[in-house]
Chain A
Amino acid sequence: MTAAIETTEAGAPIKREPRFSWLWQLLRDPLGCFGLILVLLIVLAAAGADILSPYDYKALDIKARLAPPSFEHLLGTDNLGRDTFSRILHGGRIALYVALVSVGGSLVLGLILGMLAGYGPRWLDNLLMLLFDAVRAFPVIMFALAVITVVGPSLETIIFVVIVTSVPGYARITRAATLSLKNTEFILAERSLGAGTVRVMVSHLLPNLIAPLLILASMDIPVVITIEAGLSFLGLGVKPPTPSWGSILNDGYSFIRNTPWLVIAGGIPLIITTLGFTFLGEAMRDVFDPKMKKDR
């Protein structure tokens, strides 16, 4: 039955992939490209807020309060005569700061805890799952209100609340993926070669878990930005005079009979951010799952 002769070269060699091919793939997808542009726009605007903003975001110009957009004030002014455009730019900085820190924090914590739950001993899994379910049972805003009432409103409180409430989500996804990978042959093969737990987790589980989580994180960023805006809208977020999209929206809401521009100026960046990160997340999902690559 083994008449076949052993060949020295099985098949043709495979072409090497260029290093940043994923970026090209992302840019080839129109939605991904659009998302990336929006995200870059937001990030650059927030990062360059000091250079780009024409006025100090705290400077009052009482004579021109509630002014409509003009060349002098690109997005008009608010009820105290502050330049809305400058406040939007600086508000973006706050929003992104909260989003990145809390999403990053919950991603890292969720990954670690989820992998421990999935790969570790059974009792640890049960304990962690109990904890996650308990935390998940709190409604985010209610939990936030309770914590803020106790600790007082601040940026750090918001970040803390977001991390606590979103870690279970990441951890659950990580755990589920870890459980399904745990008994696959390549993990068994690694163990049979003598790899220890840490090596298996960091070097073999992590690369297979990280892609779906990064995508989830990218889609979570707008959610967190909305939470921050929502809490600031309620007056429980950042303290004035620090600008936030939420507090700008709140001002706009109070003066909606005088001018629509505040609501528009506060709402548009939220929409752009949500769209940008969501499109980017979806495009990343298509690119980073090598099994779904079309041109192969």
Chain B
Amino acid sequence: MADNIITVKDLRVRFRTAGLVKSLIKRIDDPFIDAVMKVSFSLGRGETFGLVGESGSGKTTLGRAIIGLVKAQEGSIEFNGKELVGLKDGQFRDIRRNIAMMFQDPVASLSPRKNVRASITEPFRIHNMGVANLGEEARRLLDLVGLHQGFMAAYPHQLSGGQARRVGVARALALEPKLIIADEPTAGLDVSVQGEILNLMNRLQRELGLSYLIITHNLPVVRHVSDKLAIMYLGRFVEQGSTKEIFERPAHPYTLGLLAAVPEPDPDKRRDKLELQGEIPSLMRRPSGCEFHTRCPFVQKKCLEVAPKYEEVAPGHWASCHFPFPDPANAKAVPKGAMTGDGYIPHVDGHTIEAGNKRQRF
């Protein structure tokens, strides 16, 4: 595993939902929710890993756990051969020179009363790098991300989203990190600026040998930039593999649904696509069996009771589904909309289960 920059194993992040006293009084046995549950992946040097999921699927939490902004309870994160889980804040300091994070909102992630120069040289000051000429460094960083030197004295509220994002990239690059965690690097930017930012990130990866962990809900983005990819649902990986493999042969119905949800630029194309219906269930009440069964168009009796194993469906391609897709027999097993007439009632308390276009409450 020496060639991996980061190896995450069975990582679990829990948040407390009720205080100690409250949970004692109300007799809540388990006052926690699992935002990230038993997640494993690894990322090689110079590679890009895409983390895809709906809002609330735990992808941002996973990213923040890696850089230590939220504490992971179980599992291990091995970065450059060093274990990160269980490190104290003080010990994390040095790690943070090698991992940088880019946040969702490009403007809000810059300190509003610091100008660009102060923002991008902040990392040097935090780590007491004793850089003799901060102005020189700032100029170099702005050059690196293709921003005009005139932005040096600008404040965040004077920048556009794309400009602020470039400043964010410059700040992330300041200490020459090995890994960059990019949380929705393209959120809130229009398509041409998205393209510019992704090309910039690609160029920097080539020039500086960076590894990226890209967190996004935007499938075209990951397809464009990432080598490997994981789909997250309710804090778990439901599918993981090489980007090419997943886009060509998705195994999990959720992945299929996400892929089908990408808008097609062709208006004449037939729209007999798979639609994911309903909402992502609450983390407080995880569905029984396969956690995706409340929304799965191919749900079967087994899915309600037995949780599927996270298994390799093809070499290097993992998925957790009883009836993964590449097997043509499974794809035909249950035609769409047939599940209600099957003699069983999909039942989860309080959840609306959608079948076809009919809304039924059980």
Report which A residues bind B (CB closer than 8 A): 1-14, 16-17, 184-186, 188-196, 199, 204, 207-208, 290-291, 296
Q: With both chains docked as a complex, state the minimum distance between the C-beta of A20 and any C-beta of chain B, in angstroms.
A: 15
Q: Is B58 an interface residue (CB 8 A)?
A: no
Q: With both chains docked as a complex, state the minimum distance between the C-beta of A184 and any C-beta of chain B, in angstroms.
A: 6
Question: Which residues of chain B have C-beta atoms less than 8 A from A189's C-beta?
Answer: 101, 103, 109-111, 168, 171
One of B96, B155, B160, B162 near A192 (C-beta < 8 A): B96
| Cβ contact within 8 Å between B113 and A10 | no
Task: Name the residue of chain B whose CB is nearest to the CB of A184.
Answer: B108
Question: Which residues of chain A have C-beta atoms less than 8 A from B96's C-beta?
Answer: 192-194
Q: With both chains docked as a complex, state the minimum distance between the C-beta of A296 and any C-beta of chain B, in angstroms.
A: 7
| Cβ contact within 8 Å between A4 and B196 | yes
Q: Is B286 an interface residue (CB 8 A)?
A: no
Most buried by B among A190, A192, A291: A192
| Cβ contact within 8 Å between B158 and A2 | no
Contact with A along B161-177 (1 / 0, CB 8 A): 01100101001000000
Q: Is B149 an interface residue (CB 8 A)?
A: yes
| Cβ contact within 8 Å between A10 and B163 | yes
Label chain B's interface by main secondary structure.
helix
A11 to B166, CA, bound (A): 12
Question: Which residues of chain B have C-beta atoms less than 8 A from A14's C-beta?
Answer: 150-151, 153-154, 158
| Cβ contact within 8 Å between B196 and A6 | yes
Contact with A along B194-236 (1 / 0, CB 8 A): 1110111001000000000000000011001000000000000
A196 to B125, CA, bound (A): 12
A291 to B104, CA, bound (A): 21
| Cβ contact within 8 Å between A191 and B69 | yes
Task: Name the residue of chain A whose CB is nearest to the CB of B163.
Answer: A10
Subset of 7 A-B contacts with CB under 8 Å = A6-B199, A6-B203, A10-B160, A11-B163, A14-B158, A185-B108, A189-B101
Question: Which residues of chain B have C-beta atoms less than 8 A from A9's C-beta?
Answer: 146-148
Q: Is B36 an interface residue (CB 8 A)?
A: no
- What interface size band does chain B fall in? 35 or more
Q: Is B126 an interface residue (CB 8 A)?
A: yes
Question: Which residues of chain A have C-beta atoms less than 8 A from B101's C-beta?
Answer: 189, 192
Most buried by A among B109, B192, B193: B109
Question: Which residues of chain A have C-beta atoms less than 8 A from B153's C-beta?
Answer: 14, 16-17
A10 to B199, CA, bound (A): 14
Label chain A's interface by main secondary structure.
loop
A53 to B218, CA, bound (A): 75
| Cβ contact within 8 Å between B198 and A2 | yes
A4 to B146, CA, bound (A): 15
Question: Which residues of chain A have C-beta atoms less than 8 A from B195's C-beta?
Answer: 1-4
A191 to B71, CA, bound (A): 13
| Cβ contact within 8 Å between B111 and A204 | yes
Question: Which residues of chain A have C-beta atoms less than 8 A from B126's C-beta?
Answer: 190, 193-196, 199
Question: Which residues of chain B have C-beta atoms less than 8 A from A194's C-beta?
Answer: 92-94, 96-97, 123, 126-127
| Cβ contact within 8 Å between A193 and B151 | no
Report which B residues bind A (CB closer than 8 A): 64, 67, 69, 89, 92-94, 96-97, 100-101, 103-105, 108-114, 122-123, 126-127, 146-151, 153-155, 157-158, 160, 162-163, 166, 168, 171, 191-196, 198-200, 203, 220-221, 224
A191 to B203, CA, bound (A): 27
5 nearest A-B residue pairs (beta carbon): A13-B150, A4-B195, A194-B96, A2-B195, A185-B109
Instruction: Report the number of A-B residue pairs with Cβ-Cβ less than 8 Å.
Output: 119
Q: With both chains docked as a complex, state the minimum distance between the C-beta of B16 and any C-beta of chain A, in angstroms.
A: 11
A208 to B108, CA, bound (A): 13
Question: Which residues of chain B have C-beta atoms less than 8 A from A192's C-beta?
Answer: 67, 69, 96, 100-101
One of A184, A191, A193, A296 near B100 (C-beta < 8 A): A193
| Cβ contact within 8 Å between A1 and B191 | yes
One of A5, A185, A196, A291 near B103 (C-beta < 8 A): A185
Given A4-B196, A195-B126, A290-B112, the answer on whether A10 and B146 have CB atoms closer than 8 Å is yes
Question: Which residues of chain B have C-beta atoms less than 8 A from A191's C-beta?
Answer: 69
| Cβ contact within 8 Å between B104 and A207 | no
| Cβ contact within 8 Å between A13 and B110 | no
A13 to B152, CA, bound (A): 9
Most buried by B among A12, A194, A208, A296: A194
| Cβ contact within 8 Å between A4 and B113 | no
Question: Which residues of chain A have C-beta atoms less than 8 A from B123's C-beta?
Answer: 193-194
Q: With both chains docked as a complex, state the minimum distance between the C-beta of B148 and any C-beta of chain A, in angstroms.
A: 5
Given A1-B220, A186-B109, the answer on whether A6 and B157 have CB atoms closer than 8 Å is no
Given A1-B224, A11-B163, A17-B153, the answer on whether A188 and B103 have CB atoms closer than 8 Å is yes
Task: Name the residue of chain A whose CB is nearest to the CB of B67.
Answer: A192
Question: Which residues of chain B have C-beta atoms less than 8 A from A193's C-beta?
Answer: 96, 100, 122-123, 126, 171
| Cβ contact within 8 Å between B151 and A185 | no
| Cβ contact within 8 Å between A11 and B109 | no
Q: With both chains docked as a complex, state the minimum distance between the C-beta of B345 and any C-beta of chain A, in angstroms.
A: 42
Question: Which residues of chain A have C-beta atoms less than 8 A from B155's C-beta?
Answer: 290
| Cβ contact within 8 Å between A8 and B92 | no
Task: Name the residue of chain B whose CB is nearest to the CB of A204.
Answer: B111
Q: With both chains docked as a complex, state the minimum distance between the C-beta of B353 and any C-beta of chain A, in angstroms.
A: 35
Task: Name the residue of chain B whose CB is nearest to the CB of A2.
Answer: B195
Q: With both chains docked as a complex, state the minimum distance between the C-beta of A146 and any C-beta of chain B, in angstroms.
A: 36
Q: With both chains docked as a complex, state the minimum distance between the C-beta of A115 and any C-beta of chain B, in angstroms.
A: 15
Given A193-B126, A194-B97, the answer on whether A10 and B111 have CB atoms closer than 8 Å is no
Question: Which residues of chain A have C-beta atoms less than 8 A from B220's C-beta?
Answer: 1
A190 to B174, CA, bound (A): 13
Question: Which residues of chain A have C-beta atoms less than 8 A from B146's C-beta?
Answer: 6-10
Question: Which residues of chain B have C-beta atoms less than 8 A from A196's C-beta?
Answer: 89, 93, 126
Extra contacts, 18 of them, besides A3-B195, A186-B112 (Cβ < 8 A), are A1-B194, A1-B221, A2-B198, A14-B151, A14-B154, A14-B158, A185-B108, A189-B101, A189-B109, A190-B111, A190-B122, A192-B67, A192-B69, A193-B100, A193-B123, A194-B92, A194-B93, A207-B113
Question: Which residues of chain A have C-beta atoms less than 8 A from B149's C-beta?
Answer: 13
| Cβ contact within 8 Å between A185 and B100 | no
